[in-house]
Structure formats: C-alpha cells, structure tokens
Amino acid sequence: MKDTKGFIIIGLSIIIGSLIISLTIFNKNYSAKDLSAKEHCYKKNYTDELQDAKKHNKQIQDDDKYTDEKMEARAAVDAIYKCKLN
C-alpha cells in the first residue's frame, strides 16, 4: 500500500500541473488580440493620467502635494477603470 500511495501522489501532481499549464497556454492564445488592445488602452490612459497629475501637482501648495507613488497609483487605478480591466 505504501508503494502505490507515492505513485498516486506523483501521478495526481503531474495531472494537475499539466492542466494548469495547458489552461494558461489556451487563455493566452485565445485572447491575444483582445489583450493587446487592452494593454494599449491601459498604457495610453496611464500616461495621460500621470501627466495630468504631475501638472496639477505643480500648481498646488507644498503641503497638499502628492508623492510620485501616490500619483502613479491613482493614474493606474483610473486607467484600469477607463479601459474596463477590472
């Protein structure tokens, strides 16, 4: 019984691993065109939002200014919502 238990565990792990790999490959090939359009949308909107945030940040007082990380985070969130990636 001990010998077959090890083989069963190894066999199941191989099957699960192959399923994960095949599903990942299928999803990448199936939605490649859609993903590139969404990536383009995200990059374009992220760049625009970040530039707008930096312009706005220059116009406000030092006490109210955002950090670079905060501006990048807000630009990323806005780009995600505009491109409907969520």
Residues 23-38 have pLDDT tens digits of 777 666 555 555 678 8
Each domain of the chain, given as residue ranges in start order, spans 1-30, 32-86
Judging by beta carbons within 10 Å of its beta carbon (0-12, 13-18, 19+), is residue 79 exposed, middle or buried? buried
42 or 29, which is more confident? 42
pLDDT at 45: 93
Closest CA to 85 of 28, 29, 27, 46: 46
Could you tell me the pTM of the whole model?
A: 0.55
Average pLDDT across the chain, whole number:
83
